[in-house]
Amino acid sequence: MLDQVSVYAENKKGTMEHITSVLAEGNINILGSVTNDSAEFGIIRMVTTEPEKAAQVLEKEGYYCRLTPVLAVEVTDEVGNLNKLLKALDESNINVDYLYLSFNRQSGKPIMVFHTEGPYEVEDCLRNKGFIMTENL
């Protein structure tokens, strides 16, 4: 299980650059991210090297941040492997709210990061189905 930083930010020119510069100044690496926007505000969801510190330094700059537990599943880089993961979740009646891709910096394998209700139970379910859960991005 990983902690994800969700940043709620105004949708205007330079915002992403400012967020990444704040993290760089704090020596915090972004390991994976996804951005969803709307007309006025966006949500930047990211897994970082130090999620608590990332939230603190961004909040000091006026951003609203929230830490959320997310799951990370290592998959092989082959056609259909994401489908296998999603099918296993569907067969267990588990809904995925959103997902994004990262990778294991040690093995080089893709990591699917995703959010769902009841992450601890879902983690157990996936382990029982043979999936490899990881915290190494």
The predicted pLDDT at position 41 comes to: 83
What is the per-residue pLDDT across 61-114, written as a single tens digit (0 to 9) for each? 999 999 999 999 998 888 988 899 999 999 999 999 999 999 888 888 899 999
What is the CATH number that goes with domain 2-68? 3.30.2130.10
Terminal CA-CA length for the chain: 11
For the cut 80, the answer to whether the pLDDT of residue 39 exceeds it is no
| SS3 at position 132 | strand
Alpha carbons 1 and 20: distance in angstroms, whole number: 24
Residues 6+ apart with CB under 8 A from 78: none
CB atoms within 10 A of CB 88: 17
What is the per-residue pLDDT across 103-121, written as a single tens digit (0 to 9) for each? 888 888 899 999 999 888 9
| SS3 at position 119 | helix
Matching CATH number, 70-133, of 1.20.1260.10, 3.40.50.1820, 3.30.70.260, 3.40.50.720? 3.30.70.260
For the whole model, what pTM was predicted? Answer: 0.86
